[in-house]
Structure 1
Amino acid sequence: MMKNWLAAGAIALTAGMTTTVAQAQSTMIPGENVGLATGAPLPEGIYAINTFIYRSQDTAAADTAINIPILVWATPFVPFGGRIEFVVAPPTVFTFSRVAGGRDTSINVGTFVGGLWAFDLGGNVGVSFLFGSYLNELNAGRGGGLNILASNTYRAGAAISYTGDGYNLTANLTYQFYDTPGRFDGPNGIPAFFGPVGISDALNIDLTATKKFGKFEIGAVGYGTVNLDPNILVFPAGLGVAPGRLGRGGRFALGGLIGYDFGPFSVQAYVARDVVTTGPRGVESTDGFFRIVAPLYTPAAAPAPMPAPLVRKY
């Protein structure tokens, strides 16, 4: 059963946004896929997953959190041997002020809709391919003051997983690109950004190496993100800080994971710390994740066929 829930990691390929615009401009949460066998196909059914991420930067004025409720339908359709899976997720972003007089906030961001094509290659190895979009333009171009949320984000990814002998060894690569970038003409959202502000395409990698011992799971995780356009202007004149370009801004974090299989549902928790940050304003941070995964519906197994009656002729 735990292997099936690990396979449910395919649905974690869905929603999020970075909380470090000054470091890297990934719409998906760096690390949101770790701990899950995102390359393995799901058994037919409907699955739910909820991932909560809390992030604390060393010198930021506020901590941030993201809650990502996700629903996946693993369809009975398996063209060319790969299962088709549809996903939807409406994430919410929170900020928690660390300064006197600051305010806490929450923003409902663009819902992700997409699909996966997942293959079982045999030998406990699976691969999957994803394409979808964060419908950020439903925010009417505002993006809550965050430039990466003012335009739709298109997401393409591939993952490979090994899930034999209680292991989960997974690598997941995601590329994100945008339609017409949001350009702000005045103060907007949280915090107040002044336009125009451009955005960069981004590349993310999530890595998992865990082992199951009975109902317990333990192991290591790593994840990172990097901008692909070094010329994006992040702080234009008028913001009150020196204008600057993001360059190859990015980050990579390492951490540990624990999990437990309760039967009807599974939980995971992991903590990671930045070991590399790049860019002119790179700031190290610590992330904490908590996840619940549960199947909502799986079709009943087909009854075993009745043995054919013996017919004898004398």
Structure 2
Amino acid sequence: MKSGQNARRAALATTFACLAAMPGTALARSAALPGITIGLPTGWQVPEGVQMAITTSFAERSTRPRDNQGNNNLVVFLWATPWKVLGGQLRFLQSFPFNAQSPQGGPWQAGLFQPLTTAQIAWKINDNLGVSYFLGGFWPSDTLLALRSASIAQRFAISYVGDGWNVTANLHYGTMLAENSPTNVHYSDYMNLDLTATKRIGKWAVGAVAFGSTDLPTNRPGYRPVGQFAMGGLVSYAFDTFTVQTMLTRDIAQRNLGGEETRAWMRFLVPLWRPEKKPDQVPNRVTVRRNSAAGPGVARE
């Protein structure tokens, strides 16, 4: 039994090493999936309470001799607190990704990828404009197909939300805490940029999204940095208790990934808890009652 487990682990390690040597959908060096925040007004304050976002996407990259395919699934819990820090809204996020990959048409491999734990502060600049700063970290993962280095994640977002618009830019900066993985794959720091421009029309929203990602320079000889830039569209609908977003994106440029990627996205935004609103308290009032025996009297309600 032990030898069988070791053989399976060795096979997975070999698969990962082959993937690392070739371009692949899931082997962009970014710890965050490029484009993961498109469609969201990440620079704006959100209602106090707990929200859940479930994002799933299926991607196919046109590589040779066969396409690479990947399915990415991410659950994020966001707690928007009532507390203020430096005048901004304090919120906490925790994510849990579960991804699956089929390199070059081979067998699918799946596992829990790197969870993210972070805090964020969002400031209102005026009634329609907000900015936010996000600081946290990705935990290391034992999944062989995942990045296995812990990393620091910073994000800087700006959002305009006036007149039903959501115009947002969210810049990701990632700092890897290890240079090499246990399978001798090299890691570099990375930068991503997620862009959104959508318009709400009643319960519908439509518009454009785009994202780019790039490895940052490294001194390692022979290292080939990867990068991409993709564009696409968004359609969403707000139901009474949740919102559904659908998006389709396509690479218009890529570097060292072996081919362009097409990705279909779906996201569910679900509020889980809101603090109960206290009923309006009736202010103290003075009423005058008259009766023939006592004369004028005062009662406080």
Range into which the TM-score falls when normalised by the shorter chain: 0.7 to 0.9
Question: How big is each residue's C-alpha offset from its partner over 1:69-112, in whole Å with a ceiling of 9 and x where there is no partner?
Answer: 1111111111232111111111011013663xx31121111211
Instruction: Please list, as runs of the form range in 1=range in 2, the aligned pairs for 1:19-98 lying within 5 A after superposition.
Output: 20=25, 24-59=28-63, 60-96=66-102
3-state SS of 2:76 partner: strand
In structure 2, the residue matched to 1:260 is: 237
| 2:213 counterpart letter in structure 1 | T
Q: Secondary structure at the match of 2:267?
A: strand
CA distance in 1, matches of 2:24, 2:247: 18
Superposed structure 1 runs of 4+ greater than 3 Å apart:
18-22, 96-99, 230-233, 311-314
| Inter-CA distance 205–163: structure 2 relative to 1 (3 Å threshold) | same
Q: What is aligned with 1:117?
A: 121
Looking at structure 2, the residues matched to 245 and 180 of structure 1 have their Cα atoms a distance apart, in angstroms, of 16
Q: Which residue of 204, 228, 233 corresponds with 1:251?
A: 228
One-letter amino acid of the counterpart of residue 130, structure 1: F
- Determine the C-alpha separation between the residues in 2 that align with 1:178 and 1:307: 57
Q: Displacement of 1:232 after TM fit?
A: 4.2
Aligned residue identity for 1:167:
W
Note the C-alpha offset of 1:157. Answer: 0.8
Identity %: 32
Alignment CA distance shift 1:272-1:145 (3 Å): closer
Query: Which amino acid is 1:124 matched to?
Result: N
* Number of equivalences: 266
Rounded to whole Å, the distance in 2 between the matches of 1:21 and 1:110 is: 13
Backbone CA RMSD of aligned residues: 2.2
Residues 77-156 of structure 1: pairs in structure 2 closer than 5 A: 77-96=83-102, 99=105, 102-136=106-140, 138-139=141-142, 143-146=143-146, 149-156=147-154
Counterpart pick for 1:176 among 174, 177, 181 = 174
Correspondence for 2:273: 297
1: CA distance, partners of 2:81 / 2:127: 23
2:158 maps to 160
Cα deviation for residue 51 of structure 1 reads 0.3
Q: Which amino acid aligns with 2:231?
A: L
Amino acid at match of 1:302: K
8 Å contact from structure 2 (residues 25, 60) kept in 1 = no
1:288 is the counterpart of 2:264? yes
The 1-side partners of 2:187 and 2:98 are apart by: 21
Shift of 1:295: 0.5
Q: Provide the rounded CA distance (Å) in 2 between the counterparts of 1:120 and 1:196.
A: 45
Whether contact under 8 Å (2:172, 2:193) holds in the other structure is yes
2-structure distance, mates of 1:272, 1:156: 24
Between 1:102-111 and 1:287-296, the stretch displaced more is: 102-111
C-alpha distance in structure 2 between counterparts of 1:218 and 1:276, whole Å: 24
Tell me which structure has the larger Cα radius of gyration.
2
Deviations 1:43-64 (A, max 9, x none): 1101111000111001154300
Residue of structure 2 equivalent to 1:229: 217
Structure 2 Cα separation of the partners of residues 164 and 301 of structure 1: 26
Q: Does the CA-based 8 Å contact 1:200-1:232 persist in structure 2?
A: no
More strand as a share of residues = 2
> Partner amino acid for 2:208?
A
Q: 5+ residue gaps in structure 2?
A: 1-22, 289-295
Name the CA distance, whole Å, in 2 between partners of 1:231 and 1:286. Answer: 31
Taking structure 1 as the reference length, the TM-score comes to: 0.79
Partner residue in 1 for 2:187: 199
**Do the aligned partners of residues 86 and 302 (structure 1) sit closer, same or farther apart at CA in structure 2, a change above 3 Å counting?**
same
AA at the equivalent of 1:76: P
Superposition deviation, residue 42 in structure 1: 1.5
1:213 aligns with 2:191: no
SS state at 2:286 partner? coil
